[in-house]
Amino acid sequence: METLNALFSGFAVALSLQNLFLGFVGVTLGTAVGVLPGVGPALTVALLLPATAGFDPTGALIMFAGIYYGAMFGGSTTSILLNTPGESATIVTAMEGNMMAKRGRAGAALATSAIGSFVAGTIGTVLLTFVSPFAVDVALKFGPAEYFSVMVLAFVTVSAVLGASPARGLAALFLGLTIGLIGLDSQTGQARFTLGVPELLDGLDIVVVAVGLFAVGETLYVATYLNRGADIIEQMKGSIWMSKEDWKRSWKPWLRGTALGFPFGCIPAGGAEIPTFLSYATEKKLSKHADEFGKGAIEGVAGPEAANNASASGTLMPLLTLGLPTTATAAIILAAFQQYGLQPGPLLFDTQPELIWGLIASMYIGNVILLALNLPLVGVWVKLLAIPRPLLYAGILIFATMGAYGIRNSWFDLALLYGIGLLGFVMRRYDIPVAPVLVGLILGPLSEQQFRRALAISQGDLSIFVTQPISATVLAITVLVVIVPQAWRLVRRMQANAIGHHSPI
Amino acid sequence: MSTRARIDAGELLISLVLLALGSFVAFETQGIAETQGYAQVGPRLFPYLIGTGLMLCGAWLAWQALSGGWRAMPDEAETHAAPDRMGFLLISAGVVLHMVLIGWAGFILASTLLFVLVARGFGSKKPVRDLGIAVVLSTIVYFLFTRGLGLSLPAGPFGG
């Protein structure tokens, strides 16, 4: 009941003319930028962060939430029509949706993706609404030791457990942590690793880092290695209205995808990559049309797209209740809060209820706007896909440099932007993941703060991290997520050896 | 896992750079004044840990590079076979010149040059079209963000 009251007052905030307008602008901008090939959700939110700077915190965050949802949706459209996934979570959509488009069913693929996103986004937001208060109750029991342990868990899963190589993932994490060290120490005010450069006293802005890695690094990489021939854009064929058969084959995958996506979004498991693949595998197993998978099965678009969007809502749960970002995009959203001096966490539900509940209410509205806006306007988004590559990347770099320069009007930030761009280029070239850098950069200073607070409470006794039950549990889980996959691999290898040299899978 | 006969120079170099960066972080940490307070840990502990972590990752990756190459690398030999160095240089020139120019030539001029150079770097053969689009886009963005969204961007000689 209390939650419903809070939600209703949230709607009062979100439905004000200004906030409704900002949500609308955010969704539109997010879709328009997110649909551009090569621009994933993380880059979209980083590029558009400066655009929100002129508004009050509530309005800005409502606009930002719209940008986030719009970017997710725009990315799916690109995947289906162009087969260039903007991020790992849309690989499956790119595969199956693009095959549908090739068979002249682009309309149905876009529709099931849009409606699936709406269903998953709305259910995800309902879950966020009603589970958050419980998560806040738990989070209120968290002291510095617990926060530190949860951050360690996030570090480990983002870098060492997910991704192709633990060595490269951890290297990226430590690189991010190193960048995070630059600036004034939050406890003693001492300058660290500023090398005597006054511009470095405030540390590196996450927007500069994200835009440098994603926009400048990616642009350099594409120009150097991938700029051959034009992309093939699938024509928008087929009605954008789904047939009765399409509905029948879509609604269950939507719900199953949502059920997979939301919980995976909530835990620090690197966002939507795992649930989208799981959803695809599930749908393939359950479908009566299993033979169509790989050739454009509608279930293979409906399920993973729902999982992707539900996981996006799920990601907001640890972000809002604990201040814990678990994906690159979430790290930038956290930076958006910090730009107003707000630290997401259980206390924010108490001190800024209009902001938090206004934001949550705006997500319901944003989902409706997305659905109403996108299906009719799909022709406009398709036109954006046809922008020639030279103009597209030239335009992206104008926005990238403007975002970096606009922070404090200093050429120094542009030098940093280029330097980090070179880093991004090398990382992309050698398959070093980027998300751990951003998570390390933003969580590094926070984790150090919590660590030192915890030790201040225990008067320097390190055992505080294992004697507090919640903290000990979280650390035990951390150890498990490292050991279990390795052990499993070992067992599989031994089994394979025992049976003879049959290749696994 | 396929083992390669040759050692990839880039992989080894990156590993060594990480190792060097880690040593640098650990070394620089000695210059931070230690003030402990109740926590018994001051501003030095985390830099030490992070520097050590970097060194370990560098050593791990160096070992991988020397023993058959980094693990689980995607097969992109074809993609990386013929890099377009000119494209790389033109885009770099665009970003660096933008940094040099923006202060006194203003946002619109600096961005126009950036746009034209990046488009050229991607192999555009239509400089006049690019220039036209660049001027229009930079001008629109400039007025949208300075007038509409309250961002401050340098106007340059034509502004006022």
Q: Pseudo-torsion of CA A210, A216, A219, A223, nearest 10°? A: -150
Contact A315, A326 (CB under 8 A): yes
pLDDT given at position A252: 93
The β-bridge relationship of strands A183-184 and A191-192 is: antiparallel
Is B28 part of the contact surface with chain A (CB cutoff 8 Å)? yes
Helices and strands, number each (H, E), in chain B: 4, 0
Low-confidence ranges of chain A (pLDDT < 70): 1, 85-87, 229-230, 237-238, 270, 499-505
Please give the single-letter amino acid code of residue A120: A
**Residue A183: beta bridge partners?**
A192
Task: Tally A–B CB contacts below 8 A.
Answer: 211
Residues A250 and A244: their CA atoms lie apart, in Å, by 10
Q: Pseudo-torsion of CA B115, A45, A217, B27, nearest 10°? A: 130
Q: Determine the average pLDDT of the residues in B112-130.
A: 94
A291 contact partners, CB below 8 Å, separation of at least 6: none
pLDDT given at position B159: 56
pLDDT given at position B36: 61
Residues A174 and A170: their CA atoms lie apart, in Å, by 6
Instruction: Tell me the whole-structure pTM to 2 decimals.
Output: 0.90
Contact A383, A77 (CB under 8 A): no
Please give the single-letter amino acid code of residue A2: E
Residues 131-150 of B with CB under 8 A from A: 133-134, 137-138, 141, 145, 149-150
Cβ of B40 within 8 Å of Cβ of A227? The answer is no
Is B154 part of the contact surface with chain A (CB cutoff 8 Å)? yes
A16: left (phi over 0), alpha (psi -120 to 50) or beta: beta
Structure tokens at A154: 């996030």
* Residues B49-83: tens digit of each pLDDT: 999 999 999 999 999 999 988 988 888 888 888 89
* B158 pLDDT above the threshold of 70: no
Tell the burial category of A483 from Cβ atoms under 10 Å away from its Cβ (0-12, 13-18, 19+): exposed
* Residues A81-101: tens digit of each pLDDT: 887 766 677 788 888 888 888
The CA-to-CA distance between both ends of chain B, in Å, stands at 64
| Domain regions of chain B by residue span | 9-66, 85-148
* Residues A132-188: tens digit of each pLDDT: 999 999 899 899 999 999 999 989 988 887 777 899 999 999 999 999 999 988 888
pLDDT given at position A85: 66
Rounded to a whole number, what is the distance in Å from the CA of B109 to chain A's nearest CA? 11
Rg (CA), chain B: 24
How many angstroms separate the Cα of A437 from the Cα of each of A175, A302, A340, A504, B154? Answer: 6, 32, 23, 33, 31
The residue of chain A nearest to residue B95, with distances taken between CA atoms, is A418
Structure tokens at A340: 């107003």
